[in-house]
Amino acid sequence: MRSIAVRHMFPAASSNLALTLEKCASYKWNKDYLTTKLTTTEYLSLYLKLHAYFYTCRELDVCASYVKTLTDALIPHIATQSFNSWKLVQIFAINTFAYYHPCRDGEDQAELTADEVRMRSYVVDLIAGSLNAFLLPVYTLKQDETLLDYFALPVVKLTLEWVRLHPQVLLEEGFTKRLQIWPSLSRLLNVLQASLKGFSAQSYAKVPLPEDSDLQGFIPLEKAFMDLNFSLQEGSVTSNKLRGARLLQLGDWLAQNTPNLITSKMNNEVVVFEAICGTQVLPSSELIRELEELSLNKVSSPSPTPSETASSRASNTTPEPLSLHNPSIDILSTLDTVQEKRAGILKPQMLTSDDGSNVNRTRSRQNVALQAILRRSQEQETKQVTFKTPSPPPPAPLIAPPNPPADWRNNNINTPRQLPPPVFPFPPPTI
């Protein structure tokens, strides 16, 4: 998709994408549409199947149920950090491409078909549901400067950048039915503002963030990056603060242009953001408690930054070709490996210790297909090849030539010289 939504499209990219999504569409979904318990592999497989339908504008009735399943199932995955920062940026880029695709040829939105308009509304619903999932864990995180390290902040910033380019999406049902987005965002902005005292964002006005560099040249966000100089780079600490400062700038834009959603006011020389919808749409205390329990089971290792894991290395690596026998596993193998959790949708797995007490323990589920591939590879390496050709015979012993007689010199002198036989047995006739 990155090779299509650019100014100079790769000629074969469109057909390659169509073939790839056709493989994704063949994924067999056997679970209930209302379930929210999906492993990361199941989530990504269903996600790619949904976008295969979006790309061709088909099975739209099924797409509505898929969107609900994916948006609900994403919440526990964000709470447990099942996806790293770059994976979330990938998901966001695919969503924005689906919204951009019907108008890629410069068509006006009024010229879209009814199915295309309906499909785009599902895409907006998916983006809004994802943004809600990214912001809900804010209630469970420490309200200090450590919030700058929250792994979902890059995709939150990109989503708000996209919303600023398309403010009309805020009027669609995907956003209007999720009013809990704005109290969560207000809470995030207020904490970030207190953590950025003394930081001068104006000095880094043209510095791109890692997620910006990863989406450089991507047409759906091209206007958002117009003022950036992609030859400039900064360290991770500065990038985290710069990201927080730009989120505050996006919050100011929302407060000025959408006063019915979020407002800002001065309080003791500090700008305070507040959602208009009030406390009636705040997440329930039970949901926050369950998110806190899930956050205890997350992987403790820090999530890599986007530029360290993906597109910054894309120019130095060649992707392996996709096989045709297993489309779901083949497509997912091209994405970064994510660790799967056994935790339920909003309940952690409890293991019983020897003394009968319950102990929280994180378990990881290995990809069955990947495990089979590795096992087959190990078996092939341990195989011994036996050649059935017969062994060569032992070499024959050397036989020394006989010694000549002692008087061979005298015999040669006394013995007349023997001439070779004539070519013709009879002499020619005499004339």
Report domain extents, the chain.
Answer: 13-306
Residue 102 — very low, low, confident or very high, per pLDDT cuts 50/70/90?
Answer: confident
d(CA 430, CA 428): 7
* Average of per-residue pLDDT across 74-89: 93
Residue 281 — very low, low, confident or very high, per pLDDT cuts 50/70/90?
Answer: low
Give the up-direction half-sphere exposure of residue 230: CA atoms within 13 A in the CB hemisphere: 14
- What pLDDT does residue 300 have? 42
- What pLDDT does residue 280 have? 52
Provide CB contacts within 8 A for 7, sequence distance 6+.
217, 219
Strand partners, 365: 340
pLDDT averaged over every residue in the chain: 76
Residue 318 — very low, low, confident or very high, per pLDDT cuts 50/70/90?
Answer: very low
Q: Is the pLDDT of residue 88 over 70?
A: yes
Reference 313, options 321, 304, 322, 303; nearest CA is 304
Q: Is the pLDDT of residue 126 over 50?
A: yes
d(CA 253, CA 242): 17
Report the run of H or E that residue 336 belongs to, with start and end: none
User: Tokens 């492993």 appear where?
Assistant: 39
Reference 282, options 347, 171, 187; nearest CA is 187
- What pLDDT does residue 314 have? 39
- What pLDDT does residue 111 have? 79
pTM of the model: 0.68
Q: Higher pLDDT residue, 308 or 128?
A: 128
Residue 235 — very low, low, confident or very high, per pLDDT cuts 50/70/90?
Answer: confident
- What pLDDT does residue 347 have? 40
Q: Is the pLDDT of residue 213 over 80?
A: yes
Q: Higher pLDDT residue, 32 or 219?
A: 219
Could you tell me the two tokens for 94? 């695919």
